[in-house]
Amino acid sequence: MIDLRPFDKLGRFRNEWLDANYHFSFSGYHNEARMGEGALRVWNDDTIQPHTGFPPHGHQSMEIITYVRKGAITHKDSMGNTGRTEAGDVQVMSAGAGVQHSEWNADDETCQLFQIWILPRERGGQPGWGTRQFPKGDRSGKWTVFASGTGADDSLTLRQDATVMGATLRAGDTLDYNVAAGRHGYFVLAAGSVSLNGHVLNARDGAAIHGAETLVLKGIEDAEIVFVDTI
């Protein structure tokens, strides 16, 4: 079954530096029908103003994936890691038994990103962080694995039976994906417009997939897609 999540129906939070849109229940937004999708618990669509961001704060027992749509985000954590992740690229932080981190837009332009949280297979453990570049041209018309439970295809590693992947799709081109029985899928358009099994999705719309489903995406406008397949 496919459950469409239009951007204008998402939960929302606004302040002077953050424009946040919640695909699932998060912070002050609570929707019993949107508590997660399998191990996937959070998918936030954030716009962060220049020279602002999330100050140091803590997490534990969560896999936190950041996909940057525009601009760049600078990461610092209590493990001593510092890094900058730019548009089209991905970072993964395994919070493990506990970690403090900040995510800061140090640039002069706004930063737009997806932040995705996935429950790990086990609580605790040693925290970790990594980032990788994923050129958009390398995923034209095909799925590229950003992060996975196996680290396959030189992807970043997740501590869960889950895969985070992306693709770009030109107008008129098609791309398939099979969600297996017993698994969950969720995808969001970072840009563009596609037809999904006959349903039209536009930039920043999402779709939840429950159980066995063959997905057929066709580009209406040139599109950029981020997808999670998880238990």
Q: What is the pLDDT of residue 211?
A: 87
Q: What is the mean pLDDT of each run of 10 residues along the chain (231 residues)?
A: 97 98 98 97 98 98 98 98 98 98 98 98 98 96 97 94 98 98 97 97 97 96 98 97
Query: Global pTM?
Result: 0.97
Q: Could you tell me if 113 and 67 are in contact, meaning their C-beta atoms sit under 8 angstroms apart?
A: yes
- Identify the CATH number of the domain in which residue 110 sits: 2.60.120.10
Question: What is the Cα gyration radius of the chain?
Answer: 17
Residue 27 phi/psi, 5° resolution? 55, -120
Q: Could you tell me if 219 and 178 are in contact, meaning their C-beta atoms sit under 8 angstroms apart?
A: no
Q: What is the pLDDT of residue 157?
A: 98
Q: What is the pLDDT of residue 30?
A: 98
Buried b (16+ CB within 10 A) or exposed e, 81-115: beeebebbbbbbbbbbeebebbbbbebeeebbbbb
Residue 175 phi/psi, 5° resolution? -150, 135
Q: What is the pLDDT of residue 220?
A: 98
**Tokens encoding 123:** 């609580």
DSSP-assigned letter for residue 107: S
Q: What is the pLDDT of residue 152?
A: 86
Q: Give 9-71 as a DSSP string.
A: GSEEEE-SSEEEEESS-BTTB--TT-S-BTTEEEEEEEEE-TTEEEEEEEE-S-EEEEEEEES
Q: Could you tell me if 4 and 201 are in contact, meaning their C-beta atoms sit under 8 angstroms apart?
A: yes
Q: What is the pLDDT of residue 79?
A: 98
Residue 109: HSE in the Cβ half-sphere, 13 Å Cα cutoff: 9
Range of the domain at 149: 2-230
Q: What is the pLDDT of residue 153?
A: 86
Domains: count for the chain: 1
Residue 159: helix, strand or coil by DSSP?
Answer: coil
